[in-house]
Structure 1
Amino acid sequence: MFERFTQDAREIVLGAVEEARRLRHPRVGTEHLLLGMLTKPHSGAYAVLHAAGLEHDRVRAEVTKIVGGSGRILTDDDAEALKAIGIDLDAVLANVEKSLGPDSWTTPPPEHEKKGIFRRPQRGTRFGPRARKTLELSLREAIRLDQRRIGSEHILLGLIREGEGLAAQVIVGAGVSLADLRKSTETRLRSAV
């Protein structure tokens, strides 16, 4: 499928991988694809998103607020569940950092992965199920529009069509209608042909 991606679309996917790495998230999600689109100002998806009022720094801040940016594996819901049985997750993490140093409990970026008898070498960045679905839907959107190549706009249409991932939540949370974003994206695609 990736052989059908335009250079812009490939850069967005690579940008998503980089965003996940920078945020120290173990998997690439729809939010990382959205952030990847917002780092490529020459792409059509960027133009549509920017015109809708979405900016990289604000989206990244929102993603960090919701998911976290330090590779913390447990969520706020997990912390609440542990608190209900008498375990203060923040206190545990603070003690780990005090003993082992700052960020010792976080997931290391891929380039720091160690090989060894107890650790498997990382075989590449893992895409979450919604991100994989988004990329699959981008192909379906290109086919639906009778276009041979998958561009950045098709990835955006796939993201909109998937509609349930964190990226869609962030977009709607910013006051942008997914239906309006779809119309703007399709209009841009038609004008580019």
Structure 2
Amino acid sequence: MFERFTNRARQVVQRAVEEASGDGQRPVGTEHLLLAVLADEASLASRVLTEAGVTADDLRARIRRHTEAGGVGLGDADAAALREIGIDLAAIVARIEESFGPDALREAVPEPRRRWGRRRHTGGPFAPRSKKVLELSLREAIRLKHRHIGTEHILLGLLREGSGLAALVLTEAGADLDDLRRRVEVALRAAA
């Protein structure tokens, strides 16, 4: 599929892989693709995000809150809702970690079982949602009748997927995903 990607889009995908390895995380998540799109400041996708008020520093801070060790994956709105009904999430996390140790809330990943004579397929460097985003970027290019996949198609794929950490932090940052889609499509028409 990468043969249809423009050089700029390939660089974004490579930058996403570097983002993931720099975070010490594997595989590449939707958040890494989003940060990589935003990092290519000369791209149409990055310009649309910047014009919508999205900044890399803000997104990184939001992503960090969701992925920090011991984090439970709840957004600010969820934590506020729990506080309203008298549940102190931080106190609960502290008690659990006190009883069961730090990282007690992290999902345990069992060691892979080795089967002799069979190769284990790891699925590559991309998380399932990121693979879906890349597939959706191809579908977006086809829908728009484009013969290439650019950074704008990757952004459209991220917005269309709509369930990953990238979509969550964009929404938390005040961006409207449907509005961003419209902005990308307007910018594409203007560039044509």
Same fold (TM over 0.5): yes
Cα distance in structure 2, aligned partners of 1:141 and 1:76: 33
Cα distance in structure 1, aligned partners of 2:98 and 2:63: 28
Secondary structure in structure 2 of the residue aligned to 1:164:
coil
TM-score normalised by L of structure 2: 0.75
C-alpha displacement of 1:86: 2.6
CA contact (8 A) 1:5 1:150 kept: yes
C-alpha displacement of 1:8: 1.3
> Counterpart in 1 of 2:131?
132
Q: Which amino acid aligns with 1:143?
A: I
C-alpha displacement of 1:88: 2.2
Please show how residues 39-188 of structure 1 align to structure 2 within 5 Å.
39-68=39-68, 72=69, 75-76=71-72, 80=93, 83=96, 86-89=99-102, 126-188=125-187
Identity over the aligned pairs, expressed in percent?
A: 50
C-alpha displacement of 1:43: 0.9
Unaligned runs of 5+ in 2: 74-91, 105-121
Secondary structure in structure 2 of the residue aligned to 1:86:
helix
Unaligned runs of 5+ in 1: 92-122
Specify whether residues 48 and 131 from structure 1 end up closer, same or farther in structure 2 by C-alpha distance, changes over 3 A only.
same
How many residues are matched?
159
C-alpha displacement of 1:84: 7.9
Render the CA deviation track for 1:25-78: whole Å, top value 9, x for unaligned: 12111000000011111111110111111111111111111112xxx5x6537x
RMSD: 2.7
Q: Which amino acid aligns with 2:39?
A: T
Cα distance in structure 1, aligned partners of 2:157 and 2:144: 12
Q: Which amino acid aligns with 1:163?
A: G
CA contact (8 A) 1:82 1:88 kept: no
Cα distance in structure 2, aligned partners of 1:161 and 1:125: 22
CA contact (8 A) 1:17 1:125 kept: no
C-alpha displacement of 1:2: 0.2
Render the CA deviation track for 1:89-146: whole Å, top value 9, x for unaligned: 169xxxxxxxxxxxxxxxxxxxxxxxxxxxxxxx896100110000000000000000
Q: Which amino acid aligns with 2:137?
A: S
CA contact (8 A) 2:58 2:173 kept: no
Q: Which amino acid aligns with 1:87?
A: F
